[in-house]
Amino acid sequence: GYENGKARWPNEIDTLEAMGLENLDGMQAEITELGLDVEWERSGMLGVATEPHQVEWLEDSAAQGHGRLLDLTQVREEVHSPTYLAGLFSPDTCAIVNPAKLALELARACREAGVEIFERTTATRIDSGGAALRVHTDGPAITCRQ
């Protein structure tokens, strides 16, 4: 979680957090714009403490604005576990999606945009040069910008 990231990348953690949220917002915007039926739900994330020292970590994170602190009673209302002492709920930091529907809907959107999809094609090597990539396959090679 946040405390682990702060310990590993103290100078970059705020940028990493912002980029992560921006990425999630971007995914949600694309799903909406393309009209993809993928069961997207901005569900949030619940971190839990099972040891007293972890409660302090959650309290620190909540004080820094990284979620809403749940006490023992509140966290157990969410998850019925006798081992949870506290929780930190971050409502905007995670989403869930149906992965099968995502794959099918992305393929549909690509086809509607004129993309031809070659299933069961094995990529054997990728070469990057300048502004293009060349993907070698078990058949012909493909050159693309991204």
Q: Which structure tokens are listed for 35? A: 């009209």
At residue 123, the 3 state secondary structure works out as: strand
Reported as a single tens digit per residue, the pLDDT across 69-97 is: 999 999 999 999 999 999 999 999 999 99
Phi/psi of residue 9, nearest 5 degrees:
-130, 65
3-state secondary structure of 126: strand
Domain boundaries, the chain: 2-117, 118-146
Residue 57: per-residue pLDDT:
92
- Read off the pTM: 0.73
Instruction: Identify the pLDDT of residue 6.
Output: 85
HSE on the CB side for 114, CA within 13 Å? 0
Write down the mean pLDDT value for the chain. Answer: 93
> Residue 92, SS3?
coil
- For position 3, what pLDDT does the model report? 74
Q: What confidence tens digit (pLDDT) does each residue in 29-58 have?
A: 999 999 999 999 999 999 999 999 999 999
